[in-house]
Structure 1
């Protein structure tokens, strides 16, 4: 099977190397296509960085791995779309995004470029997984090898799921991970944005830890308890529960 590896931390991220290595170890035919520079918080943006709409890419070398790799001047959502439409050598069987520096938990995953790439693949009928390592704002050294270890355990499960499934995997940044658990999305992520008003009509976004208590069974709570969490996601879909009778218009 062919795997496209991308991320939002950029082509030189060690998390990308860890994810690509795990995919190779699982027997997948790996191609890497990742942003040439940092693209965090871009969600599923498919806007080309170039004003012309063209997307530039260059060949790249991934340390320690003999795989085809591309540094792309685009956000991960666009890279995912290009791959699913046959770019970078053909449509992949699976798209893996990460390993992200920092957890992606709660409904705040909407803003994540890591998750956005996976959801874009899902919308284009490609099975996908976003992988994140729970390294805090002032956390210790990232345990990339531990994230890769968990990915190796989860990949066979992902590949047996129905076609075009999409999951988000979060790994605690500890040596002794307690195990794997399916998890609900928390209402918010563990890190939230606070808006501070400045002079001259400007505002500043400041990232702070959430002060809300963790709800048992959610990804944020299980991750804090030392478990790696998996959440199966559902992308854009119709919600009939909100529909009401409509007026006769035009009369």
Structure 2
């Protein structure tokens, strides 16, 4: 099995090393195609106004001056030669990708692009900031990542779905198992902006994520990681609200 490993935290991120370890629990044919710099929050962005340059970092290792989606496109269409990957593993992200974060995540965006190109993908993320402060418990992904990966590969999933895995922010011994979840939604926004002034008197703004825990329903990815469980969610890109679509059909039927 040929596996393409990527992320949105950049090629030197510690989570990418963990992701490679997880990939090698399944196959020795592992290729790394990752961004030069951090690309968090890029979603499915592609580079359209600049050239995308590639730097080979070693055997089966490439650094891309672009987004996670760029990495997947170039990996599949150019860098892996005449055989495309059988699987894309994205992560392990430094921070959770749950709730409405999933639509902004470059980690998940890479898997969606792979799905569009006919390659199944799993996004792995390590939650942080809830229990352990600034400590990132990478040992949870190292321990449970291979188990979750193998179980997903044994089970399989539809061609129009990507899998989203989030590990809880707790000690390894405190993990409370695995839960199959749905995408949640926070009951308040967590994107914050701060206005500052540079030494030349010009205003600029810094955007970030942050805020207290929300109160999500049971069965959602948010509630799952709050309860120290590993969240596994099947996601797809169809954003249609089908119930309201039917209402609109009735409203516009006689226009």
1:40 is matched with which residue? 40
1:64 is matched with which residue? none
Q: Does 1:60 align with 2:57?
A: yes
The correspondence of residues 149-228 of structure 1 with structure 2, limited to 5 A, is 149-160=143-154, 161-162=156-157, 164=159, 165-173=161-169, 174-176=171-173, 177-188=175-186, 192-195=190-193, 204-210=206-212, 212-228=214-230
Q: 1:233 aligns with which of 210, 231, 235?
A: 235
1:135 is matched with which residue? 128
1:144 is matched with which residue? 138
Residue-by-residue CA offset, 1:38-91 (whole Å, 9 max, x unaligned): 11110011115xx5x432111225xxxxx6211111100121122333533342
2:76 is matched with which residue? 84
> SS of 1:213's equivalent?
coil
Distance in 1 (CA, whole Å) between partners of 2:133 and 2:188 is 13
Measured at CA, do residues 219 and 154 of structure 1 come closer, stay the same or move farther in structure 2, by a change above 3 Å? same
Distance in 1 (CA, whole Å) between partners of 2:62 and 2:109 is 19
Are the counterparts in 2 of residues 4 and 92 from structure 1 also a CA contact under 8 Å? yes
Are the counterparts in 1 of residues 32 and 61 from structure 2 also a CA contact under 8 Å? yes
Measured at CA, do residues 196 and 175 of structure 1 come closer, stay the same or move farther in structure 2, by a change above 3 Å? same
Are the counterparts in 2 of residues 190 and 210 from structure 1 also a CA contact under 8 Å? no
Deviation at 1:212, TM superposition (A): 2.9
> SS of 1:145's equivalent?
helix
Measured at CA, do residues 183 and 130 of structure 1 come closer, stay the same or move farther in structure 2, by a change above 3 Å? same
Deviation at 1:235, TM superposition (A): 1.2
**TM-score relative to the length of structure 1:** 0.84
Residue-by-residue CA offset, 1:21-44 (whole Å, 9 max, x unaligned): 111122251000000111111001
Distance in 2 (CA, whole Å) between partners of 1:27 and 1:217 is 32
Are the counterparts in 1 of residues 187 and 216 from structure 2 also a CA contact under 8 Å? no
Of Structure 1 and Structure 2, the greater helix share is in: 2
Deviation at 1:141, TM superposition (A): 2.3
Distance in 2 (CA, whole Å) between partners of 1:210 and 1:190 is 10
Deviation at 1:4, TM superposition (A): 0.3
Distance in 1 (CA, whole Å) between partners of 2:183 and 2:153 is 22
Deviation at 1:211, TM superposition (A): 5.0
Structure 1's unaligned 5+ residue stretches are: 62-66
Deviation at 1:131, TM superposition (A): 0.4
1:4 is matched with which residue? 4
> SS of 2:141's equivalent?
helix
27-36 or 202-211: bigger deviation: 202-211
> SS of 1:209's equivalent?
coil
Distance in 2 (CA, whole Å) between partners of 1:46 and 1:208 is 26
Measured at CA, do residues 191 and 143 of structure 1 come closer, stay the same or move farther in structure 2, by a change above 3 Å? farther
Structure 2's unaligned 5+ residue stretches are: none
140-149 or 198-207: bigger deviation: 198-207
Residue-by-residue CA offset, 1:80-130 (whole Å, 9 max, x unaligned): 122333533342110010000001110221001111111111122211011
